Structures are given as C-alpha cells and as structure tokens.
A = this chain, B = another copy of it.
Amino acid sequence: MLTLTIDNKRLLQSIKASSIIGPTQNGGLNRLALSDEDKVMRDLFKQWMEEEGLQVRYDDFGNMYGRREGINNDDAAVLVGSHLDTQPNGGKFDGVLGVLAALEVIRVLNENNIKTKRPIEIVNFTNEEGARFEPPMLGSGGIANIFSRDFVYSIQDKDGKSFGEELEKTGYLGTEKNRANHIHRYVELHIEQGPVLENYRTNIGAVTGIQGMTWLEVKISGHSAHAGTTPLSMRKDALLMSSKMITLIHEIASQIDSNSLVTIGRISAFPGAVNCVSGEVVFSVDVRHPDDSIRENVVEVIRETLSTSAASENFGITISELWEIKTSHFSEDIVCLIEDAAKERNYSCERIISGAGHDAKYMNHIVPSGMIFVPSIDGKSHCEDELTLDDDLIRGTNILLDVTLSLSQS
C-alpha cells in the first residue's frame, strides 16, 4: 500500500501565514477569541476550506466546520481539528497546529484524489483558551452540552462585551443544526505544552486521556508578632508553618504515587511586612493524577496530614476545595492507531496523559476522541517563545493524516 505523506512546505507555510495575524513584538501571537484578529484568521481559514471544495458551515457557538464527503455520506464523519484563538501573549502553535494540520490532511487527500468511506470534517472551535471569555473551551463545551447556550452568550470579557454580541459581530454566528452531530471519532493534534516528550527524545505522544484535578485553598492562622521582640519559641509563625507544609505536600504526593502532580502556585502572607511574623498565610494546592482514585487519595492524605500537623502545633487551619474535575479517558482504538502509525513511520512514540485541558476533553463526552502530541521545546507554552520544531510539526501532521485515513476507511 502506498504511504501518503503531507507537503511539508505547504504545512509550514500555512502556520507562517497564521503567525502574522495578531503578532506580538517577540514572535508570539495575541489573537483573542472573537477579536478583530480572530475574524481575519477565520476569514482566511474559511477561504482555504472553500478552495479545497469543503462545505463550510458554522454553528451557534461560532465553531467553524469544513466537510469533505465520503463514499457513504450517511456514515458518521471523522472530525479533526482544534482552535485558532490564542492567549494574549501566546505562541504560534498552541491550537493553530491542530487546525492547520487538519487542513493539510484535506489538501493531501484532495491532491491524491483519495476517496474515503466516511466523510471527514475539519473544525475550528471557538474560545478554547478562555483568555477572553472564561471559562475555557466554550465552543466544544457548548456542543458537548457542558455549557448552556444562554450561559455562554452571557459571558462578558473584561470590557463588559458579551460572547453573544461579539460572536454576532464576527459574522460567524451559525445555527444549532450546524453543530457536529453525526460523528464517528474526534482526533486532535496538539503541542504537548510540557517537557516530557522532549526530555525523553520522543517524537509522538499517544495521549491516553486528560487527567483530573483538584484545587484546594489552605488558610493557616498563627499569631502576628514583632520580629524583634518575640523569641522563636514563643511564635506561631504562619509562614514557617506553611513552608513546612509545602515541603510536606510534595513528600506526600511522591510517596503515594510518583505520577502525582502537586503545585503550590499562589501564596500570600499577612501582614506581609519585613519585621512582622506572619499571623496568617493563604496558599493554593493544585493536585493532578491520571487515576481519579489516586488523586482523591492524595487530596485526602494532604487534608488529613495538614490538619493533624496544624492541630499538633496549635495553628488554625481551613482547607476549602476551589474546584474538582475528573480524568477523561480517550478512546483506546485511537491510541492504538497512533502507536501503529508511528511504528510504521519509524517515529518514536510513547503513551502520555495530558495535564492541560483541550477541546478533545469535552468532545470525549459525546464521541470517542483522541489526541496526538508533539514536543514543546523546554515544555514552554502560553508564552511568546513557545516552540515546536518543524520536523515535529511535520511528524505530528503525518500521524494525523494516517489516523484520519484509517478512521475514515473503517
């Protein structure tokens, strides 16, 4: 069987074209959802889809689709894509790669006159980043019935402009019947946004799911005191206590399971003066693990250990759960297709869990879904120096081509 391969130059050219729509000073992108820049990018993407003969449509969340008919047009379609919006100081690859790689897949199929059994649809989801309208993933979450349309339309950006009004202004407000609704599988190519693939010199990540997370807020109450007049033995220093707890939280996570992730990213000490012993400290704890029961166990042990520790040293403690979300498990057949394709092409490949959220997370609620990851240099993302090397962009797109083709022929 002839192995199809993408047009490397054309793929990189598409990404380059996207890179100059909403550019930042230091080589990144600022293309917030439903902004003027987003509209320019949407217009270009629409034009590209039309040039490939795709049937273009938009749904009531502004998600854009391009459909390529198959031999059996009553069969459920294979949906492939991601998002074209970015963070305010984002990079050129997050989301963009997945959409433009899907377009490249169509172009390869077209130029080779490949007929697929199932139809193929490519998609650009609205407001994946959540940088302008919070929470993130409103387009995919909308069609997956995670969010109601009324809720999504009512969300305002920091200037008080609503999603509903801004969507209408772009001209990409479509209808509910245009939503992706007869879908066989959803596949998304994305940069890893973490350092694992690069660290292990792995070309392709076969993503097994998106890990769940729990966010806690811990408040430690001691006694504020004068730094010069209060002997160490008479202090109840909430920051010293918190420091011990932060170390302890990491020990707990590592002991329970080496794949546990715990992060203390936010901390405030009160009163916060150089010469004052802290009377109160508030810090966040982000806990993640691919296995929900292990994550729940880590959270439980953290709660118990911190409470015991605080009580034994006479500190006050309150632990609140800010939010919790369970792990999504992707379709095993897609994971296997990715592994097979990588083997066929002699790309190194490992199974990996996604730490970040993606449109595939919500799509997985309504259709078996999967993701392909390619390496991020230094694990950097959501910043101007986000970088995935050309070879990796190309390898990822070839795997997307293989997987899409397999799924659309099944």
Residues of chain B contacted by A195 (CB below 8 angstroms): 225, 229-231, 234
Cβ contact within 8 Å between A261 and B227: yes
| Distance A203 CA – B163 CA, assembled complex (angstroms) | 68
- Count of chain copies: 2
B232 close to A355 (CB less than 8 A): no
Give the dominant DSSP class at A's interface: mixed
Within 8 Å by CB of A240, from B223, B250, B274, B356, lies B250
**A231–B196 CB distance below 8 A:** yes
Please state if B265 and A226 are interface contacts (CB–CB under 8 Å): no
List the one stretch of A54-62, A107-115, A172-180, A276-284 in contact with chain B.
Answer: A276-284
Q: How many residues of A contact B (CB 8 A)?
A: 60
- Contact string against B for A residues 243-258, beta-carbon threshold 8 Å, 1 for contact and 0 otherwise: 1101100100110001
Contact A228 B265 (CB under 8 A): no
In contact, A273 and B269 (Cβ under 8 angstroms): no
Cβ of A7 within 8 Å of any chain B Cβ, yes or no, is no
Q: Let me know if B274 and A196 touch, CB within 8 A.
A: no
Would you call A276 and B272 a contact (CB within 8 A)?
no
Known contacts A250-B240, A274-B322: does B228 contact A356 (CB below 8 Å)? Answer: yes
B250 touches A265 (CB 8 A): no
Contacts of A240 in B (CB 8 A): 246-247, 250, 264
Count chain B CB atoms within 10 A of each CB in A228, A266, A273 and give the residue with the most.
Answer: A228
| A185 close to B (CB within 8 Å) | no
A232 x B254 contact (CB < 8 A)? yes
**In the complex, chain B residues whose CB is within 8 Å of the CB of A253:** 232
Q: Do B192 and A229 have beta carbons less than 8 Å apart? A: yes
A277-B265 contact, Cβ under 8 Å, with A226-B381, A227-B288, A229-B192:
yes
Give 17 A-B pairs besides A230-B261, A239-B264, A265-B277 with Cβ atoms closer than 8 angstroms.
A193-B226, A195-B229, A195-B231, A196-B229, A196-B231, A199-B234, A228-B261, A228-B286, A231-B259, A240-B250, A243-B244, A265-B269, A265-B276, A266-B269, A266-B272, A267-B269, A275-B286
